[in-house]
Copies of this chain bind each other. A is one copy, B any other.
């Protein structure tokens, strides 16, 4: 991004989604798209879409909408992952194992390259073809495998300690699946995914609508 404007995190998180939906429109041969069409396809209200796009300097024209090719080129450049992203996974429990198997096959250039688990032998073992080492080798193996960021699927009580160790080896970001809110230096990025909170939010939405 060459822009100086600070883009809100909520907008940033929608960017890969916009990209995916625009690709669908392009595949269908559509040359332009309105915020209403995107809104219906994505289930995001159109005012939000227009505001998001304005952050990227993409301004639709009234009665015309957005140029699909132009937007795609812009998003593709923005999301460009030409340089492969290598990810370490910490905590091979139920969720960690599932993520190892899943391994983000749809993200062409992004893969989990190494994992850590307290039950792994010191010489390492393979899970879904990914080497898993005990946590005492975190610093050594994280760097040896060239990981840039980490997925945290440890127990909540280990979350901050692992975040501190990741900060010390200059990890660039953490995808945090634990319910703990972790504290990291400002230069690091953290995204939180708390599955219990998501389920509670769904229940709340349902109950809220029932009344």
- CB atoms of A12 and B79 under 8 A apart: no
Residue on B nearest A183 in the bound complex, by CB: B43
Give Cα A144 to B197, complex, Å.
27
| Interface-lining segment among A13-21, A66-74, A118-126 | A13-21
- How many identical subunits does the complex contain? 2
Residue count of chain A within 8 Å CB distance of chain B: 65
| Interface-lining segment among A29-37, A102-110, A134-142, A159-167 | A102-110
A164 CB to nearest chain B CB (Å)? 16
22 contacting pairs across A/B (C-beta < 8 A): A1-B208, A12-B201, A12-B205, A12-B208, A15-B201, A16-B196, A20-B179, A78-B204, A80-B207, A102-B195, A104-B195, A104-B199, A106-B196, A107-B200, A149-B203, A149-B206, A173-B202, A175-B202, A189-B209, A191-B205, A193-B195, A193-B198
